[in-house]
């Protein structure tokens, strides 16, 4: 992931507070060992997608915490357990 994207996402305190319990999970951390799209790991892919989901839901005045957590959990579980085409780094 490009550094400027990492910086933007990491500076959003509310997003970080919401996502922290998920991204510090040992199983989720293992996603850093697998590629999702070319040079992007499964972790980076889910992390970035989660941020975009968070921003869209917040902009639309949705219950962004609930929507974001359920979508992220779904995406993480599909990456980990549904046999997507991922390769070891």
pTM: 0.73
The more confident residue out of 88 and 32 is 32
pLDDT tens, 13-30? 999 998 888 888 888 888
**pLDDT at residue 13, as a whole number:** 94
Percentage of residues of the chain with pLDDT beyond 90: 8
**pLDDT at residue 17, as a whole number:** 92
The more confident residue out of 22 and 59 is 59
Give one DSSP letter per residue of the chain, joined into a string. --HHHHHHHHT-HHHHHHHHHHHTSHHHHGGGGEEEETTEEHHHHHHHHHHHHHHHHHHTTS-HHHHHHHHHHHHHHHHHHS--S-EE-
DSSP-assigned beta bridge partners for residue 88: 34
Q: Is the pLDDT of residue 58 over 60?
A: yes
Q: Is the pLDDT of residue 85 over 70?
A: no
Instruction: For residue 67, give both structure tokens.
Output: 């929507």
């Amino acid at each position: 992931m490009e550094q400027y994207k990492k910086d933007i996402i990491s500076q959003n305190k509310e997003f970080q507070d919401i996502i922290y319990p998920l991204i510090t999970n040992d199983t989720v951390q293992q996603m850093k060992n697998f590629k999702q799209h070319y040079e992007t790991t499964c972790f980076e892919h889910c992390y970035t997608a989660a941020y975009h989901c968070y921003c869209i839901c917040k902009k639309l005045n949705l219950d962004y915490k609930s929507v974001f957590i359920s979508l992220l959990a779904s995406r993480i579980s599909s990456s980990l357990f549904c046999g997507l085409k991922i390769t070891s780094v």
